[in-house]
């Protein structure tokens, strides 16, 4: 069953104060944008989906991913990928091993190598496998981070202000890449941002918090 990411009457509060309430469905391949100033609690919704909501917050309602209720499920079992404004490549691993990090188990070693090499070629970084992530440019690192998440075959993708640290020129390119890939993979996307242009590029529903 793949009906995307659904928020059934979800409300998050802190100290008895309601932070935000969402009731929405993100169909596969589409983007829901959550806009609001910092401190409006938009990132806590990401935490709720990820499954690492700090203990100070209280959530009611259900988050349902492709028919499965996520409540109480372990972080690792949710298959929810996330991209932050920093690419957060693991600095002690080379680029190829970073990509291999999220590959689901199984398959022969040579097949896994081939998958990673193909993924590198796919984002225009063929031959970059042995590189130290610290030597990549901002745009290259962002692409590797995206590909690392996609290789783990996520059932949903979360974006936490993902383009805010990129140069303006790169930003459009990255938006196109991320949203395009999500559409092809039919992955529902939840994006948190305060950049109006992000919401326009995403072209889906927008929820504004204040």
Q: How far is the CB of 39 from another protein (least distance, A)?
A: 19
Closest CB to another protein among 116 and 199? 116
Tell me the closest approach of the beta carbon of residue 54 to another protein, in angstroms: 10
Q: Which is nearer to another protein, 115 or 205 (CB)?
A: 115
In the complex with another protein, which residue's Cβ is closer, 19 or 82?
82
Query: At how many degrees (to 10) do helices 168-185 and 138-151 cross?
Result: 10
Q: Among all chains, which residue has been given the structure tokens 């459009």?
A: 172
Closer of 104 and 124 to another protein (Cβ)? 104
Q: What is the binding site for another protein (CB under 8 A)?
A: 50, 52, 74-76, 78-82, 84, 86, 88, 90-93, 97, 100-106, 109, 112, 148-149, 152, 154
| Order of all β-strands in the sheet with 17-26 | 17-26, 5-14, 57-65, 68-69
Closest approach, Cβ 139 to another protein, in A, equals 19
Contact in structure between 187 and 28 (CB atoms under 8 Å) = yes
Judged by CB, which is closer to another protein: 81, or 188?
A: 81
Pairing of strands 17-26, 5-14: antiparallel
Which residue shows structure tokens 């994006």? Answer: 191
Q: At what angle do helices 138-151 and 109-122 cross, to 10 degrees?
A: 140
Q: How far is the CB of 80 from another protein (least distance, A)?
A: 6
* Residue (of 18, 24, 27, 92) closest to 59 by Cα position: 18
Nearest approach, Cβ of 105 to another protein (angstroms)?
Answer: 4
């Amino acid at each position: 069953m793949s009906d995307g990411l659904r928020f059934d009457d979800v409300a998050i509060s802190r100290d008895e104060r309601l932070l935000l309430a969402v009731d929405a469905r993100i169909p596969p391949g589409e983007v829901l944008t959550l806009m609001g100033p910092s401190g409006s609690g938009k990132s806590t919704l990401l935490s709720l989906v990820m499954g690492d909501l700090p203990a100070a917050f209280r959530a009611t309602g259900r988050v349902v991913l492709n028919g499965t209720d996520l409540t109480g499920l372990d972080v690792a079992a949710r298959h929810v990928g996330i991209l932050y404004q920093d690419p957060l490549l693991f600095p002690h691993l080379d680029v190829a091993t970073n990509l291999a990090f999220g590959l689901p188990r199984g398959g022969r070693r040579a097949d896994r190598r081939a998958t990673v090499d193909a993924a590198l070629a796919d984002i225009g970084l063929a031959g970059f496998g042995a590189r130290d992530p610290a030597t990549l440019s901002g745009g290259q690192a962002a692409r590797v981070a995206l590909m690392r998440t996609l290789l783990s075959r996520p059932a949903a993708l979360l974006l936490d202000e993902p383009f805010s640290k990129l140069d303006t020129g790169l930003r459009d390119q990255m938006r196109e890449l991320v949203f395009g890939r999500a559409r092809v993979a039919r992955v529902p996307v939840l994006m948190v941002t305060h950049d109006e242009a992000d919401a326009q590029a995403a072209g889906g529903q927008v929820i504004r918090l204040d």
